[in-house]
């Protein structure tokens, strides 16, 4: 069966541009609701363009992989609206785990880091997307959906809807949404936490559309009124060059692999351990940064993001 779904991310492009213009105008006239800086924003936009180009160049790899799986699966759930709805929810669960791997496995982080490399949080940050996602091989996490009988075209379609949903949450112009919405859905407040480099906010709120996954799997941290989010990387990069933004962590992995005195087991660990791991034990970790923060601010112990299980 051949299924045709629209490429929704392409169709949303004019909306993205318009929404960015509106957010900028809002911040300019209201003098609140976020920050823009020209070099940072243009880097984010060029990263977005590069991501689309990357998809055109190597996207066929994932497409062929899924079509090969589709050819061997005996299941076909069809394309009724409820099948699409279930596919959307399951694909969002898939997104949660790929995103979590993206922060806890350096090989995947090398692709995802560029999205966190801005020290700003506005709608252009949403477009600061990876150029190298295909090389993480995280497409494998989508394989069960195809084998369960969801058509690859449908999976790409719901994946596109997921990305579009995540665009609008990259803003400081919206404070909090209604309580019921904050309970179920990913929101600007929840996702601001995810982009924070404050120790409290590290490795939290991986959700794409539904924040329930973080609540279920113990990674949810609510935004705290008394601790504004400091955006960016734990140690920020020193360039606006999109090529360097896109590839810097891959280069760092290569340098770690080729330094003197490392074994093949060390090289394996440099790829699969969390970012910050070092073979000589001198590296850092999320847990270590949280412990340091609590040591300096004992009153934070046990508060959201500093529970015993996270340290």
Q: Which residues bind another protein (CB under 8 A)?
A: 7, 10-11, 13-14, 16-17, 20-21, 24-25, 28, 35-42, 45-46, 49, 52, 119-120, 124, 197, 199, 230, 232, 234-240, 244, 247-249, 251-252, 284, 289, 292-293
Q: Rounded to the nearest whole angstrom, what is the least distance from the CB of residue 74 to another protein in the complex?
A: 35
Paired residues of 210 in beta bridges? 185
Q: Rounded to the nearest whole angstrom, what is the least distance from the CB of residue 118 to another protein in the complex?
A: 9
- Of 198 and 205, the one with the shorter C-beta distance to another protein is 198
- Of 19 and 185, the one with the shorter C-beta distance to another protein is 19
C-alpha 201/C-alpha 4 separation (Å) is 40
Q: Rounded to the nearest whole angstrom, what is the least distance from the CB of residue 191 to another protein in the complex?
A: 20
Two structure tokens written together for 135 = 């090389």
Residue-wise DSSP of 222-256: PPPTTS---BS-SS--S---HHHHHHHHHHHHHHH
In 3D, which of 89, 105, 93 has the Cα closest to residue 216?
A: 93
Q: Rounded to the nearest whole angstrom, what is the least distance from the CB of residue 101 to another protein in the complex?
A: 22
Interhelix angle 38-72/242-258, rounded to 10 degrees, is: 70
Q: Rounded to the nearest whole angstrom, what is the least distance from the CB of residue 241 to another protein in the complex?
A: 8
In 3D, which of 39, 50, 41 has the Cα closest to residue 23?
A: 41
- Of 19 and 143, the one with the shorter C-beta distance to another protein is 19
- Of 232 and 304, the one with the shorter C-beta distance to another protein is 232
H-helix or E-strand containing 64?
helix 38-72
């Amino acid at each position: 069966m051949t299924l045709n779904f629209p490429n929704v991310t392409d169709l949303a492009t004019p909306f993205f541009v318009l929404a960015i213009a509106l957010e900028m105008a809002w911040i300019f006239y209201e003098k609140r609701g976020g920050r823009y800086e020209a070099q940072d924003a243009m880097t984010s936009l060029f990263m977005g363009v590069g991501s689309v180009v990357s998809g055109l160049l190597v996207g066929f790899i994932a497409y062929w992989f899924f079509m090969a799986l589709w050819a061997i699966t005996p299941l076909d759930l069809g394309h009724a609206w409820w099948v699409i709805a279930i596919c959307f929810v399951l694909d969002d669960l898939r997104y949660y785990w790929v995103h979590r791997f993206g922060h806890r496995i350096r090989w995947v982080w090398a692709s995802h880091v560029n999205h966190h490399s801005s020290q700003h949080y506005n709608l252009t940050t949403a477009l600061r997307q990876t150029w190298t996602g295909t090389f993480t091989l995280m497409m494998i996490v989508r394989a069960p959906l195809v084998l369960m009988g969801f058509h690859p075209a449908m999976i790409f379609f719901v994946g596109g809807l997921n990305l579009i949903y995540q665009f609008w949450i990259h803003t400081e112009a919206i404070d909090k949404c209604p309580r019921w919405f904050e309970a179920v859905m990913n929101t600007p407040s929840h996702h601001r936490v995810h982009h924070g480099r404050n120790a409290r906010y590290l490795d939290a709120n991986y959700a794409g559309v539904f924040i329930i996954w973080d609540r279920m799997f113990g990674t949810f941290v609510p935004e705290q009124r008394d601790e504004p989010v400091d955006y960016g990387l734990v140690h920020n990069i020193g360039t606006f060059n999109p090529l360097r933004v896109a590839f810097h962590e891959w280069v760092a992995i290569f340098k770690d692999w080729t330094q003197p005195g490392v074994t093949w087991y060390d090289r394996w660990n440099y790829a699969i351990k969390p970012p910050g791991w070092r073979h000589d034990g001198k590296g850092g970790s999320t847990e270590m940064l949280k412990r340091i923060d609590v040591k300096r601010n004992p009153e934070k112990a046990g508060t959201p993001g500093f529970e015993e299980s996270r340290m």
